[in-house]
A and B are shown apart, each in its own frame.
Chain A
């Protein structure tokens, strides 16, 4: 059972435009959500997070939106840069329950110059 779903395996955008990566989850107990970025041959690197008590969190070019009723979150990157090309993983955790992060399968973002 895939509790965290990233239904787009890949996304291609032009440099300077907005990248929107989507994530859906099924476990209503998840209360903290994170996005990780992964380059080839490296481990995932933390990017941005959001608590379930918020609906938006910004950090520079990165913004995460959370829609709890829809069990959906999205990561917006504006403006997109070629160095943003990587695989992006959505992850979720039930902070009051199991201490494990549950990851989606990832979306490969390619930003074209």
Chain B
């Protein structure tokens, strides 16, 4: 299966710790997106890349969040000094045009 792969699937961390998630997109896809989903809500856009360039960032992405996509392949999303409000499902998606193909997400729990 060559779908979008996200690791880890689950992450439990203590408030104040840093966490990093990884996303491996579908290989021929040039666009990569990060979304966040909380209970009862739809996915909310965080940021997206076209190849290695980060083209848009949501105002939801505070200074504690940083995303990279070196060499236009996999991407990482880092959250520094985690807060309980960061607890959510973090979804990665990739595309070449439309539609977006999503991974199964990383569920973050901040205790």
Specify which chain B residues have a CB less than 8 angstroms from the CB of A49 in the assembled complex.
Answer: 98-99
Residue A89 at the B interface, CB < 8 A?
yes
- Per the bound structure, the CA–CA distance linking A49 and B83 in Å amounts to 37
Q: Do A46 and B43 have beta carbons less than 8 Å apart?
A: no
Bin chain A's interface residue count.
Answer: 20 to 34
Among candidates B41, B56, B98, residue contacting A32 with C-beta atoms closer than 8 Å: B98
- Per the bound structure, the CA–CA distance linking A86 and B70 in Å amounts to 35
Q: Mark B1-44, 1 if CB is under 8 A from A, else 0.
A: 00010000000000000000000000000010100000011111
Specify which chain A residues have a CB less than 8 angstroms from the CB of B41 in the assembled complex.
Answer: 105-106
Residue A60 at the B interface, CB < 8 A?
no
- Per the bound structure, the CA–CA distance linking A106 and B42 in Å amounts to 6
- B44 to A, closest residue via Cβ: A103
- B100 to A, closest residue via Cβ: A101
A97 CB to nearest B CB, Å: 10
Q: Mark B73-94, 1 if CB is under 8 A from A, else 0.
A: 0000000000000000001010
A34-B98, A100-B58 given; 7 more Cβ-contact pairs under 8 Å: A4-B42, A36-B102, A41-B104, A49-B98, A103-B43, A105-B40, A105-B42
What are 16 residue pairs bridging A and B, where the CB atoms are less than 8 Å apart in the complex? A6-B42, A32-B98, A34-B99, A36-B102, A42-B104, A43-B93, A46-B99, A89-B42, A93-B98, A99-B48, A99-B55, A99-B56, A100-B56, A101-B33, A103-B43, A105-B41
